Amino acid sequence: MAAALAVQALAKRYGKVQALHGVDLEVADGELVGLLGPNGAGKSTLMKIACGLVRPTGGSAFVNGARAGTSKARAGLGYLAEFFRFPGWMSAEELLTLHQQLAGSPGGQDERTRLLELVALADARNRAVEAMSKGMQQRLGIAQALVGSPKILLLDEPTSALDPVGRRTVRELLEEVRSRGVAVLLNSHLLSEVELVCDRVVILLGGKVVAEGTTAELAHPRGIEIETDQGTRLVEGAKREDTPALVQAEVAAGRKVYGVRVLSSTLEEVYLEAVQGETS
Amino acid sequence: MTTVIRYAIGEAVRRKVFLVVLVLTLIFLGLDALANHYIFGDLSHFHPPEDVHVDVRTFAASFVIGMSMFATLFLGVVLAVFLTLGAVSGDAERGLLQPIVVRPIGRRSMLLARFFAAAGVCVVYVLVVYFVALVITGTEGSWWPHSIVAPGLLLAAAVVVMTAISLLGSVFLAGTANGIAIFMLFIAGLVAGLLGTIGHALGSHTISHAATVAAWVLPFEALYQDALHQLVAGTHGFTTFLLQLGPFGGSYNSGWGVRGWAAAYLVMVGAAALTAFARRDL
């Protein structure tokens, strides 16, 4: 069975700027992958190629087995651009109806109601887009991307304008979408969000993949912290497997052990190390 | 495709394009009615040139209709440009286009739908304004042209050509730049028409030939000249006056050649727009 998104040796050049240098990436069905990297790393370009908005200069991209940009590929994806705008005069209901018609979705009123409830906009269904806050528009954008039950969602900075409650709503929404087998490629600068919801992360730098894996795989062990009746001490360099021996040694030395914590680097530390402090 | 056509028209309504054009149209028709009222109220002030062997009523009415046809063409082009100037680059810059073209409908259908929406609206608009202006002159002056329908259709075709050119321009240029470029092309066409009239008056074959070439390069002008010709083509005694009907280009009988060329031109411009849009990064 074809991956929801399969990208091989993908390259893109804008004039003199090489935005992507042979990127390989795969997103399986029901997998939530976080795409990280500094500004200008090529994240949005990669997403735009997958959507058919940008033509690659090399390599290939397939969405649900169909070449990216073809009608078949577009039929199976939902996309929210980083910089998007919907017609201000349309209500949320009208916008979703428009996208249902464009996507050929037979979902009708039931689908619109479900999607608006999913993004907590059920009460604003008749409100014009221009009367919505940026956060509400962003949530409406996610609802729009979900029209037609796509097999893969490509979300470019979907939480950039959201407050903490809005972010939580989106996080729960992403988890629900994943539980239904929908693949998600999430481009975000909010590392804490990515760490919380993503199964895997891919870090891009200068158009190349510089790190890839689960957060656990990417994290480096930072030692083990042991809390005893004589205080807390850090055993640097120790790994999770060393825990029983360390506890045993403490007990043998007559100390009472109250707590043990295996420390590893956070996603932020992994990211900063991968991008070597580059910002844009 | 009908979804995008409805969307495009809804967007135009919201941007008050129709309101602006409606106000301009009402002002034009009001002035046209006023001019007709005073012209036909006392025709004794008008004297056709000696080489034009027609009665003064025919002379005045055909002249006024010729002028109103130019105004109709101008307003039709204003509407066409406003409806299409930002269809691709303008909407892409504002982030309106991307959510639509990632849908299965695709770019080709999107662009064709935008063209049909704009062209459909412009054709209806031009025909309505043309016939209203005709009725005003017909009622006030008790004179009707030899051919009533053909000039209106040719005028509408001229606006459709401009719609296609504007849509092609929108693939490459941002909204404002495209609007300026299209109006400059429009003026270039009109100047070519004016040049033709001057060339004819001076008896300069070179100037007349240059004007003819320019009119065919921008066939909206050739269609406008053809429309003027159709207006009075069957009116006896008008032969030598035909060249003076319009303010920016007289009437020329280009026949089916220019109509066929305009159709081919439309297809070529459309193909160029579709090809360029298909290759454009958004």
Token pair 């849908």: residue: B103
- As to burial, measured by CB atoms within 10 angstroms (0-12 exposed, 13-18 middle, 19+ buried), residue B148 is middle
Asked whether the predicted pLDDT for residue A68 surpasses 50, the reply is yes
pLDDT in the model for residue B110: 92
Comparison of pLDDT for B68 and A237, the residue scoring more: B68
Q: Nearest-CA distance from B271 to chain A in Å?
A: 19
- As to burial, measured by CB atoms within 10 angstroms (0-12 exposed, 13-18 middle, 19+ buried), residue A176 is exposed
Distance (Å, whole) CA A76 – CA A53? 15
User: Domain range for residue B84?
Assistant: 2-279
3-state class (DSSP) for residue B160: helix
Distance (Å, whole) CA B192 – CA B182? 15
pLDDT in the model for residue A112: 95
Distance (Å, whole) CA B34 – CA B221? 28
Interface test with B, best of A96, A102, A154 (most B CBs within 10 A): A102
Q: Tens of pLDDT along B191-244? A: 888 888 788 778 888 988 888 888 889 899 889 988 888 887 766 555 545 545
Asked whether the predicted pLDDT for residue B249 surpasses 60, the reply is no
User: Would you list the domain boundaries of chain A?
Assistant: 5-217, 221-264
pTM beyond cutoff 0.80: yes
CA B121 vs. chain centroid, Å, equals 13
State the average pLDDT over residues A150-156: 94
Q: Under an 8 A CB cutoff, do B104 and A74 touch?
A: yes
> Cβ contacts (< 8 Å) between B11 and chain A: which residues?
87, 89
Q: Which CATH number fits domain A5-217: 1.20.58.60, 3.40.50.300, 3.30.1330.60, 3.90.420.10?
A: 3.40.50.300
Asked whether the predicted pLDDT for residue A144 surpasses 90, the reply is yes
A75: which DSSP letter?
H
A69: which DSSP letter?
T
Amino acid identity at A170 = V
The number of distinct structural domains making up chain B is: 1
Supply the mean pLDDT for chain A: 90
pLDDT in the model for residue B240: 46
- Chain A segment 47-86 residues within 8 A of B by beta carbon are 48, 51-55, 71, 74-75, 77, 79, 81, 83-86
B169: which DSSP letter?
H
| Phi-psi category of residue A132: left, alpha or beta, with phi > 0 → left and psi -120 to 50 → alpha | beta
Residue B19, chain A, CB below 8 Å: the answer is no
Q: Tens of pLDDT along A212-249? A: 998 888 888 888 999 999 999 899 888 888 999 999 99
pLDDT in the model for residue B264: 95
Half-sphere exposure in the Cβ direction for B194 (13 Å, CA): 9
H-only helix segments in chain B:
2-14, 17-41, 56-84, 89-93, 98-101, 106-141, 149-172, 175-202, 205-217, 219-232, 255-279
> Cβ contacts (< 8 Å) between B105 and chain A: which residues?
102
Residues whose CB is less than 8 angstroms from the CB of residue B219 and which lie 6 or more positions away in sequence, other chains included? B158, B161, B258, B261, B262, B265
Tokens of A115: 């999607």
Sheet holding A200-205, edge to edge: A77-80, A152-156, A183-187, A32-36, A200-205, A208-213
Sheet holding A58-63, edge to edge: A17-27, A5-14, A58-63, A66-67
Supply the mean pLDDT for chain B: 87
Distance (Å, whole) CA A191 – CA A20? 22
Which member of A53, A101, A102 has the closest CB to residue B98? A53
Q: Tens of pLDDT along A244-275? A: 999 999 999 999 999 999 888 888 888 888 88
> Cβ contacts (< 8 Å) between A98 and chain B: which residues?
3, 7
- In this complex, how many residue pairs, one in chain A and one in chain B, have their CB atoms less than 8 Å apart? 65
CB distance B222 to B256 below 8 Å: no
Residues whose CB is less than 8 angstroms from the CB of residue B93 and which lie 6 or more positions away in sequence, other chains included? B174, B175
pLDDT in the model for residue A279: 67
Q: Tens of pLDDT along B20-50? A: 889 999 999 999 999 999 998 888 777 777 7
Q: Nearest-CA distance from A85 to chain B in Å?
A: 5
pLDDT in the model for residue B46: 76
A183 φ/ψ angles, rounded to the nearest 5 degrees: -80, 145
Distance (Å, whole) CA B195 – CA B108? 38
Residues whose CB is less than 8 angstroms from the CB of residue A145 and which lie 6 or more positions away in sequence, other chains included? A78, A79, A80, A153, A154, A155
| Banded pLDDT at B252 (limits 50, 70, 90) | low
Q: Measure the CA angle with vertex B23, ends A128 and B134; round to 5°.
A: 130
Tokens of A252: 């043998």
| Banded pLDDT at B135 (limits 50, 70, 90) | very high
| Banded pLDDT at A165 (limits 50, 70, 90) | confident
* HEC per residue, B99-141: HHHCCCCHHHHHHHHHHHHHHHHHHHHHHHHHHHHHHHHHHHH
Q: Hey, which residues does A205 pair with through a beta bridge?
A: A208
